[in-house]
Structure 1
């Protein structure tokens, strides 16, 4: 192994050559406190240690180092036989966020077929927003592994390119995996209502409740006014979580016509839905909503009563 000028680092390097894996593991922990840039080399060395516990420790401490040189070692660790090492390496890659790591990541993505490895690389590419990631991410939307498709959606969503919207809409509406559909639905928020509004309305009917929630949430973020009737219908969804998101969206859109619907929700047995309804009525701040808000001042839930007082202040200010 290389000889280091720094005495502390040299001592750690010697420990990493010990026959005792326990000593090597302690040496890895000592690397965090060394503060030397060259310590990265020793972390990479430890990621290739024959002992699983040493590799695990190395994978855990990589977050403490900012070095694109570590990307290749972490990519290799994604294929480690130990699940803890693989998961730690994937987490560390995602946190690397160094543009210099882009090239090795893209190269590894091109040559990888293992679903865990590919999804880990895509997760690391997402925050880098590299134009070169667009083509391979679009290609991976057809991967057989839903983990890969989900991470590919995230990369495409962060790139925010209009030409990718048809692929995202197709994925949101037709992917077999509900979590992939949910991710694609959330990724559509960089578009305009004209581009994806109808698709989002259709997703309010998705068989998976989490996709329906995401659709309502995205509609609210996009300020898609034409979706108001569909959102009002969603306030009767079989699951309260969907009803809550629909109510939130109606408040963000400021839909006055929805006040009677929101008033009904403000009397729901589910306190979370009552809170959402009062919050939406306060956001709309139209006097037609005042009777519902006044009634909520006596709600048994203190959070609802608190929101009702806030809503009253909004109504008074608007008046």
Structure 2
């Protein structure tokens, strides 16, 4: 192993050559306190240690170092036979966020077939927003593993390219995995209502409640006014989580047509829905909202009463 000028780092390097894996593991922990840039080399060395516990410790401390030089070692660690090492490496790669890591990540993506490795690389590529990631991410939308498809959706969502919208809409509507559909539905928020509004309205009818929630949330973010009636219909969904998201979205859209529906929701047996409804009525702040807000001032739930006071202040200000 290389000889280091820094005495502390040299002592750690010596420990990392010990026959005792316990000593090598302690050496890895000592690296965090060394503060030397050259410590990265020793972390990479520890990531390749024959002992699982040493590799685990190395993967855990990677977050303490900001060095794109570590990208190759972390990519290799994604294929480690120990789950803790793999997960730690994937987490560290995602946190690297260094454009210099882009080239080795793209190269590794092109040469990898293991689903865990591919999904980990895609997760690391997402915040880098590299144009070169677009083509492989689109290809990964047809991968057999939902983890890969989900991470590919995230990459495309962060790239925010109009030409990717048809593929994302297709994924949101047709992927067999509900979590992938949910992720794709959420990724559509960089588009305009004209581009994806109708697709999002259709997704309010998806067979999985989380997709329906995400569709309502995305509609609210996009301020898709044509979705007022479908959202009002969604306030009657069988699951309160979907009803709550629909109510939130109606508040963002601000249509007075939704006031009677929101008023009914403000009297629902579910306190979370009452809170959402009062929040939406306060956001709309039309005089027709006042009777519902007045009733909520005496709600048994203190959080609803607090929101009612806020909503009343909005109504008074608007008046």
State the TM-score, normalized to the length of structure 1. Answer: 1.00
Structure 2: segments with no counterpart, 5+ residues:
none
- Could you tell me how far apart the structure 2 residues matched to 1:99 and 1:238 are? 46
- Could you tell me how far apart the structure 1 residues matched to 2:89 and 2:163 are? 32
Residue of structure 2 in register with 1:15 after alignment: 15
**1:169 shift after superposition:** 0.2
Residue of structure 2 in register with 1:266 after alignment: 266
Residue of structure 1 in register with 2:146 after alignment: 146
- State the SS of the aligned residue for 2:18: coil
Residue of structure 2 in register with 1:228 after alignment: 228
- State the SS of the aligned residue for 2:81: coil
- State the SS of the aligned residue for 2:49: coil
Residue of structure 2 in register with 1:162 after alignment: 162
**1:212 shift after superposition:** 0.1
Q: Are 1:186 and 2:202 an aligned pair?
A: no
- Residues 198-248 of structure 1 show CA distances to partners (whole Å, capped at 9, x for unaligned) of 000000000000000000000000000000000000000000000000000
State the TM-score, normalized to the length of structure 2. Answer: 1.00
- Could you tell me how far apart the structure 1 residues matched to 2:318 and 2:172 are? 39
- Could you tell me how far apart the structure 2 residues matched to 1:68 and 1:138 are? 25
Q: Superposition pairs for residues 11-160 of structure 1, below 5 Å?
A: 11-160=11-160
Q: Superposition pairs for residues 165-314 of structure 1, below 5 Å?
A: 165-314=165-314
- State the SS of the aligned residue for 1:291: helix
- Could you tell me how far apart the structure 2 residues matched to 1:307 and 1:76 are? 51
- Could you tell me how far apart the structure 2 residues matched to 1:70 and 1:34 are? 17
**1:271 shift after superposition:** 0.2
- Could you tell me how far apart the structure 2 residues matched to 1:152 and 1:68 are? 22
**1:159 shift after superposition:** 0.1
- Could you tell me how far apart the structure 2 residues matched to 1:241 and 1:126 are? 29
**1:41 shift after superposition:** 0.2
- Could you tell me how far apart the structure 1 residues matched to 2:169 and 2:249 are? 20
- Could you tell me how far apart the structure 1 residues matched to 2:3 and 2:254 are? 68
Structure 1: segments with no counterpart, 5+ residues:
none
- Could you tell me how far apart the structure 2 residues matched to 1:111 and 1:244 are? 44
**1:93 shift after superposition:** 0.2
**1:255 shift after superposition:** 1.1
- Could you tell me how far apart the structure 1 residues matched to 2:238 and 2:115 are? 35
- Could you tell me how far apart the structure 2 residues matched to 1:209 and 1:110 are? 35
RMSD: 0.3
- Residues 2-25 of structure 1 show CA distances to partners (whole Å, capped at 9, x for unaligned) of 000000000000000000000000
- State the SS of the aligned residue for 1:5: coil
- Residues 63-118 of structure 1 show CA distances to partners (whole Å, capped at 9, x for unaligned) of 00000000000000000000000000000000000000000000000010000000
Residue of structure 2 in register with 1:316 after alignment: 316
- Residues 45-66 of structure 1 show CA distances to partners (whole Å, capped at 9, x for unaligned) of 0000000000000000000000
Q: Across the two proteins, how many residue pairs are aligned to each other? A: 319
